[in-house]
Amino acid sequence: PVMGAAAFIMAEYTGIPYRDIALAAIIPAILFYLPIYLQVHLRAVKTGLQGLRPDEIPNLFTTLSNGWLFIVPLIAISWSLLDGYTPAYSAVYGLMAVFAVSMLKSATRLDPKAIYETLAVAATRMIPVVGACAAAGLVIGGITMTGLASKFSYLVFAIAGDNLYLSVCVAAAVTLLLGLGMPTPSAYILAAVLISPVLYDLGLPTLPSQLFLFYFAVMSALTPPVAVAAYAASAIANANPLEIAVNAVKISVGAFVVPFAFLFNNALLLDGTPTEIVFSFVFACFGIGCLAIAVEAYIIRPLKPWVALILAGSGLLMLVPVWQIVVCAAGVAGLIIIYEIVGSRPKAAR
């Protein structure tokens, strides 16, 4: 339920309650993590990586009995956000829950020194967020007073004309460029102020437009050539940052596609009838899964390039908000997957 500083800035900037933003982001979040999980699994199978041995896996009952209290603060924050409380009040409830459950076990009990150190760490970690929020007003005011936002909109329309899809692609590319080397909150603030007027002029709703920019502001951290997140990961993995960035983009391919999907199909943001939402969600999961399989070019056996290309195209078409196209694409993808599974079996088994 806690989406990071940029999402709270979005709530302040747009006036949309944070609860509505978090609820709308549920399906896109699933569509973000699903292909990552699938690609990591397929790559592990393809390269022969193994999981933990049974004796290395912690006992579930022991883990839950020792760690259940860590779930309580998360439940408190989630409940308060969903009940309509502001993020500030929700944070207070979360702090109260943390303090209460920490008293239940001697190992987690907070003494005055621990409380002081915790508050000091929290204050230190709040500095970047406070700085970003303080700068947001200055940036927004400066851009508004100089008329830069309207000039930027004119520039985008000069490049893309009246073409909705081309304009959206330009907006995504510019957001990635603006976010190179910047923290996510700062990247989102610039994108929201400069690019959201373009999306509004195209007739796109506020929340889908803002989430669209939010996604690409986040993805700018791993997009080459700067890829700030890749440099942080390289220190941990002791690997080449550019190589990490390229692999991160491949594994996160769904994150670059999902924003376009929910921008043109608001049912993926829980805006629609229950039938539309379920239909869109199921086929979007299948489509994004097919795209992940195509990127790895592997199911049970390696895929031929032309098969992977058709599967990728089918996966992308399943994200289109036209049910006839979606059903046909799902049929093609289903036949390919069945063919690959059956074809991978030994002839004797067939």
DSSP string, 259-273: HHHHHH-GGGGT-S-
Q: How far is CA 15 from the centre of its chain?
A: 22
Predicted confidence at residue 148, as pLDDT, reads: 67
Q: How many helices (H) and strands (E) does the chain have?
A: 18, 0
Token pair listed for 315: 């996966």
Distance, CA of 334 to CA of 350 (rounded, Å): 19
Predicted confidence at residue 5, as pLDDT, reads: 75
Predicted confidence at residue 268, as pLDDT, reads: 95
The residue to which tokens 């997140």 are assigned: 229
Distance, CA of 131 to CA of 113 (rounded, Å): 28
Q: Largest alpha-carbon pair distance within the chain? A: 75
Token pair listed for 307: 């098969």
Output the CA angle 189-121-132, nearest 5 degrees: 10
Q: Please report, for the chain, the start and end positions of each structural domain, with discontinuous segments joined by +.
A: 272-350
One digit per residue, pLDDT tens: the chain, 350 residues? 677 778 888 888 888 888 899 899 999 999 999 999 999 999 999 888 888 888 888 888 888 887 888 888 888 888 888 787 877 888 888 888 888 888 887 777 778 888 888 889 888 877 766 766 666 667 667 766 776 666 766 677 677 777 888 889 988 988 888 777 777 888 888 888 888 888 888 889 999 999 999 999 989 888 887 788 888 788 788 888 888 989 999 898 888 999 999 999 999 999 989 999 999 999 999 999 999 999 999 988 899 999 999 999 999 999 998 999 999 999 999 999 999 888 776 654 55
Token pair listed for 44: 């592990």
User: Residue 94 CB: number of other CB atoms within 10 A?
Assistant: 21
CB 315 within 8 A of CB 288: yes
Predicted confidence at residue 129, as pLDDT, reads: 63
Predicted confidence at residue 98, as pLDDT, reads: 85
Residues whose CB is less than 8 angstroms from the CB of residue 251 and which lie 6 or more positions away in sequence, other chains included: 36, 39, 40
Distance, CA of 103 to CA of 265 (rounded, Å): 47
Predicted confidence at residue 52, as pLDDT, reads: 84
Distance, CA of 321 to CA of 330 (rounded, Å): 13
Token pair listed for 84: 């309509």
CB 13 within 8 A of CB 192: yes
Distance, CA of 262 to CA of 318 (rounded, Å): 12
**At residue 241, what are phi and psi to the nearest 5 degrees?**
-60, -40
